[in-house]
Amino acid sequence: MNLKNLLFLLITFLLLSCSTAPLIDAVLKEDKEKVSSLLNAGENPNQTGKYCYSALFAAAQKGNIELVKLLLGKGADVNNKSLPCIFREGIIAFRTQAYVPLNMAKNAATAKVLIENGAFINVGGYDEFRFDPDHLYNPPLVTAIRNKDIELVEFLLSKGASTNIYTKDGKNRIRVLLDFNKAKEPEFVAKLEKIFSKYDLSNQTPQIPVRRINGVYKHITTGNKTTMPSDILYAIQNGKEFGAATYDYTSKRYLHDSEFVWEDTGENLYLWHLSLQANNFKVGDPDSNLLNASKYANIKANEEALEAGADINTGKNIKRTPLMLAAKEGHLQVVNLLIAKGADVNAKADTSTSAIFLTTNPDIVQALIKGGADVNIKTKYGTTPLMMATNLEIVKLLVENKADVNAKDSSGSSVLHSAVRNNNYEIVKYLIEKGANVNAKDNSGVSVLSRAKSIKNKNDKVIELLEKYGATP
């Protein structure tokens, strides 16, 4: 039995063992006639029981699409989080209810219905039962991985689920889960590794450029006090900027309690910031809104900013255009929107890199090329996209679209020099087969073979391959 089913059985037992709410009781029993009757009689579709679970939450976990559609049709909030339960039950109930219905969707079919009805794909919650290795925030994608639901993982990714999820130590959350389960579930992890091969799961500790403010917040439900990190305090005091991180859609209020969940669990604010899918995004001028919306994959906010007159190629303050931000964060849907609206696909940042340099997603590379991206564009150091590519699929896309396999940067290093430096046998082999010069030398006279032999973790297979094709020192 997987963790999600175990959790739901426990929830069902707790709900049925106490007087909950008639609508939730009917949903748990999958009594469609009773559910319909109660809703038609005026029962609140967003009511919650003693343990703070909504009817839609229960229907989603049951995987009962008929009930999900029925509840949504009667006004159930697809992104429901119950604020009254926070005050009634305290932190444990808040953590439980922090899961939205999409987080608990039993399968891809259920998730599809929820997303089609406005579910925020990157907004999830905490697991009070703590089955995972680092006990952190779980957006729907993480929940699907933990429940070993390959179909749901692929579906969520196809709908734009972000892989930019980090632990408090700056480790990629998905990478942590894959490594944690590798020994126990090798076949399952192998399938996931293949799925995520086109995504960058590297570790990083992003920084949020926000105003520095200090203060103390009292925990309403416990009476304890926590000194808030300034970034988090800023988020609380400027709720509109952080949307889904602090906004409760059922009560239409900003949550005071959000901030101590962040602090008490050691959460990385960037994770919350990435979850932003809120409608209340407008916090600045159109250009700033467009940059933020592009970085955090808010399609509606992108469209609104453009309608308000935003410069589609703005690089305001950060020296990167909206297209660069969307490409770097892996937001294919936003990339396609910006290209369709006329974004300059070859615009350069302050380091003279364009969007095609910034992505590790083959689908985005393909979209940029289709939109007119120059595959041989150079940075101020003479670097080309092919020199920076470490993904074989991207390398093939670039070469198939006439990227120069013998291009050199300002130091004289060739594409093949870069490939051997990265120790990637398959890429080296492919480039040689496509005509890369195995005897190219840089401005200091260092050959490709010499470079391959000099790197710290040299790859003997790469060296043998070069020698096989006639490379000399």
pLDDT at 326 over 70: yes
**Residue 223: pLDDT over 50:** no
CATH code where residue 131 lies: 1.25.40.20
State whether residue 307 is helix, strand or coil: helix
pLDDT of residue 2: 52
Among residues 198, 216, 246, which one ends one of the domains? 198
Read off the tokens for 304.
């609104």
- CA distance linking residue 163 with residue 141, whole number of Å: 8
Q: Residue 273 falls within a domain, yes or no?
A: no
**Residues in a beta bridge with 248:** 253
Q: What is the pLDDT of residue 253?
A: 38
Confidence class for position 351, pLDDT limits 50, 70, 90: low
CA dist 197 → 202, 304, 327 (Å): 11, 33, 17
138 found inside a domain: yes
pLDDT digits (tens, 9 = 90+) for 129-176: 444 444 445 678 888 888 888 999 999 898 878 787 666 555 677 888
Asked if the model's pLDDT at residue 338 lies above 90, the reply is: yes
With a CB cutoff of 8 Å and minimum separation 6, the contacts of 183 are none
Confidence of residue 279 (pLDDT cuts 50, 70, 90): very low
Query: Is residue 291 in a domain?
Result: no
Nearest alpha-carbon partner for 295 in 261, 262, 266, 318: 318
User: Among the three residues 170, 198, 226, which one is the final residue of a domain in this structure?
Assistant: 198
Based on the number of CB atoms within 10 Å of its own CB, is 112 exposed (0-12), middle (13-18) or buried (19 or more)? middle
Q: What is the pLDDT of residue 414?
A: 96
Q: DSSP state, 422?
A: T
Q: What pLDDT does residue 336 have?
A: 96
pLDDT at 27: 92
The phi, psi pair for 447, rounded to 5°, reads -85, 170
C-alpha 87/C-alpha 33 separation (Å) is 33
Residue 249 has a pLDDT of 37
In this structure, what token pair is assigned to residue 202? Answer: 């590297």
Q: Which is nearest to 449 in space by CA: 427, 419, 426, 405? A: 419
The residue whose two tokens read 């940042």 is 349
Q: Judge whether 368 lies within some domain.
A: no
User: For residue 315, what pLDDT is reported?
Assistant: 80
Those residues whose C-beta lies under 8 Å from the C-beta of residue 395, and which sit 6 or more positions away, are 386, 389, 427, 430, 431
Confidence tier at 123 by pLDDT (50, 70, 90): low
23 vs 45: CA distance, rounded Å: 8
Q: How far apart are the first and last CA of the chain?
A: 59
- Answer whether residue 280 shows pLDDT above 60: no
- What CA–CA distance (Å, rounded) separates 13 from 363? 45
Task: Kindly tell me if the per-residue pLDDT of 18 is higher than 50.
Answer: no
337 found inside a domain: no
Domain count, the chain: 2
Three-state DSSP class for residue 383: coil
The set of residues, in sequence order, having a beta carbon less than 8 Å from that of 450 and lying 6+ positions away, is 473
Which of 169, 198, 227 is the C-terminal boundary of a domain? Answer: 198
Neighbours of 223 (CB within 10 A): 7
Domain assignment present for 140: yes
Largest interatomic CA distance in the chain: 84
The answer to the question of residue 343 being in a domain is: no
**Residue 76 structural domain:** 3-198
Comparison of pLDDT for 300 and 23, the residue scoring more? 23
In a domain? residue 46: yes
